[in-house]
């Protein structure tokens, strides 16, 4: 069983649309489980028009709680909190959105009045995406600990893949270079980095390349909307060439991709013979070839 993760340094470059179409293509040949680890803004189910089967509360965060029967109002806890999560003058009030659950306040409280408890901060959703199962995490608004939720999504996707004897887990990872990206790529067999030919996307691509290479995971680059700016296209290719990375595919700008998203369908299903769909088939073949080369 192989785990392929698709990430992007920059948001809005078409990553989820690409993952949705790749899933459809691969599911014709392999048993595929999809995972959406973009837990701040999961939308793969929308691109696929998938149906929710099951939803579970996830407690992947810890917060401080004060027992006011014990509290004497000394405010030592307020002084020690580096996250400014405790306010008040003679009665401490914890701001749950900023509390990181670090526990420093519990160590300094003279009355043992503070307890760290796990709290529900997200959902684990299972979707029926036709002949694929989609495991997706969704962090509640204002919550942190997204890396822990990503871990939970990945473990569940692996379990579902084992149960169904799937040959592939295809993961729609988050944008950026933070904790959820690291949690998403850890343990992957191959990472495809989606970018577009703009200076901002190239800048972010270089940053996410550093993260993936740190974990020594083989990677390739996907140039989406490849024809929107020839100079930046050349700059991305130069970066790839200079660093020994392959360009797996160039997907031209195609308004059918946007139309497909508007209709809640992957472009490969909605408009299978358009330039974007043909390029996505090439991408699927190139990615499969790279996976087959792995030992």
Q: Select from 68-76, 127-135, 172-180, 278-286 the region that touches ligand SF4 (CB under 6 A).
A: 68-76
Helix (H) or strand (E) holding 255: helix 255-262
Distance CA 262, CA 270 (A): 11
Min dist. Cβ of residue 179 to ligand SF4 (A): 17
Handedness of CA 70, 74, 78, 80 (dihedral sign): negative
Min dist. Cβ of residue 145 to ligand SF4 (A): 12
Q: Which residues pair with 220 in a beta bridge?
A: 192, 246
CA angle 88–92–66, rounded 5-degree value: 160
Quick one: 100 or 128, whose CB is closer to ligand SF4? 100
Tokens of residue 142, six digits: 């204002």
Binding to ligand SF4, residues 107-166 (CB under 6 A): 109-111, 113-114
Burial of 116 (0-12, 13-18, 19+ CB in 10 A): middle
Query: Residue 261: how many CB atoms within 10 A of its CB?
Result: 19
Min dist. Cβ of residue 79 to ligand SF4 (A): 9
Min dist. Cβ of residue 81 to ligand SF4 (A): 3
* x/- letters, 71..100, toward ligand SF4 (CB under 6 A): xxxxxxx--xx-x-xx-----x-x----xx
User: Per-residue DSSP letters for 257-274?
Assistant: HHHHHHTTS-HHHHSTTS
Burial annotation 160-177 (CB, 10 A radius, 16+ → b, else e): bbeeeebebbbbbbbbbb
Quick one: 144 or 258, whose CB is closer to ligand SF4? 144
Whether the CB-CB separation of 108 and 80 falls below 8 Å is answered with yes
Quick one: 110 or 178, whose CB is closer to ligand SF4? 110
Quick one: 50 or 94, whose CB is closer to ligand SF4? 94
Choose, by CB under 6 A, the member of 1, 59, 102, 247 that binds ligand SF4. Answer: 102
Min dist. Cβ of residue 95 to ligand SF4 (A): 8
- What is the phi/psi pair of residue 144, to 5°? -110, -155
- What is the phi/psi pair of residue 10, to 5°? -115, 140
Quick one: 101 or 176, whose CB is closer to ligand SF4? 101
Whether the CB-CB separation of 15 and 211 falls below 8 Å is answered with no
Choose, by CB under 6 A, the member of 24, 39, 66, 193 that binds ligand SF4. Answer: 66
Quick one: 99 or 208, whose CB is closer to ligand SF4? 99
Min dist. Cβ of residue 153 to ligand SF4 (A): 25
Min dist. Cβ of residue 177 to ligand SF4 (A): 24
Quick one: 104 or 259, whose CB is closer to ligand SF4? 104
Min dist. Cβ of residue 117 to ligand SF4 (A): 10
**Which residues here bind ligand SF4, judged by CB under 6 A?**
64, 66, 71-77, 80-81, 83, 85-86, 92, 94, 99-105, 109-111, 113-114
């Amino acid at each position: 069983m192989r785990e392929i993760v698709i990430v992007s340094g920059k948001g809005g470059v078409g990553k989820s649309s690409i993952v949705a179409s790749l899933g459809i293509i691969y599911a014709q040949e392999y048993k595929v489980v999809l995972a959406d680890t973009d837990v701040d803004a999961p939308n793969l189910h929308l691109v696929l028009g998938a149906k929710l089967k099951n939803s579970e509360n996830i407690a992947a965060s810890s917060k401080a709680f004060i027992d006011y029967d014990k509290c004497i109002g000394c405010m030592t806890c307020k002084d020690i909190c580096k996250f400014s999560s405790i306010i008040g003058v003679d009665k401490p009030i914890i701001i749950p959105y900023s509390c990181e659950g670090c526990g420093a306040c519990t160590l300094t409280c003279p009355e043992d009045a503070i307890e760290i408890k796990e709290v529900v901060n997200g959902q684990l959703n299972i979707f029926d995406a036709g002949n694929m199962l989609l495991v997706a995490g969704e962090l509640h608004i204002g919550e942190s600990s997204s890396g822990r939720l990503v871990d939970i999504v990945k473990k569940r996707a692996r379990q579902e893949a084992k149960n169904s004897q799937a040959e592939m887990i295809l993961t729609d990872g988050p944008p950026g270079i933070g904790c959820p990206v690291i949690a998403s790529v850890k343990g992957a067999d191959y990472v495809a980095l989606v970018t577009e030919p703009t200076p901002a996307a190239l800048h972010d691509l270089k940053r996410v390349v550093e993260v993936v290479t740190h974990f020594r995971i083989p990677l390739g680059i996907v140039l989406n909307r490849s024809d929107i700016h020839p100079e930046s296209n050349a700059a991305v290719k130069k970066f790839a060439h200079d660093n020994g990375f392959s360009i797996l595919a160039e997907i031209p700008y195609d308004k059918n991709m946007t139309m497909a998203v508007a209709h809640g369908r992957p472009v490969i299903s909605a408009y299978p013979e358009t330039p974007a769909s043909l390029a996505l088939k090439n991408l699927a073949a190139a990615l499969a070839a790279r996976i087959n080369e792995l030992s």
